[in-house]
Amino acid sequence: MYEFIRDLHLYTIAPCLPLGFYLIVVSGKGGVFHKKVGYIYMVLIFFSSIVSLFLKAYVGPTFLNHFGWIHLLSFLTIWTVPRSLIAVKNGNIQRHKRSLKLLYWTGLSLAGLFTLMPGRYLHSVLFN
């Protein structure tokens, strides 16, 4: 069961890297296509964050013998996605942009780098 959850997390988070990059760097903001891709991105990253809470931290200190420091990024995502959607619905585009850029660059990129550390699953897949 653990492998299924791990793979589900990996398959739902991996598309978020190029999608987020597209939305932040390439896409025209506010258009129909930006909104559709953004919706897919938000669903994927939110779902993946929930799934990640079921993955035990094997590197570093843990809390309750399960959660590690990296789980803080999951909680950050679970907080940021709805907050960002509410912001854009209320016309607060600056908050929407700021929170999602922060989530992408710190959450996805930083977490992605952490997953490449020795002892982590993705490190073993890519480098062994």
**Domain region containing 42:** 2-127
pLDDT band of residue 123 (cuts 50, 70, 90) is: confident
Residue entry with tokens 């929930």: 50
Q: How many CB atoms lie within 10 A of CB 37?
A: 16
The model's pTM is 0.86
Q: Going by C-beta distance under 8 Å and a sequence separation of 6 or more, which residues neighbour residue 88? A: 96
Per-residue pLDDT tens for 3-13?
899 889 989 99
How many domains does the chain contain in total?
1
Distance from C-alpha of 27 to C-alpha of 37, rounded to nearest angstrom: 9
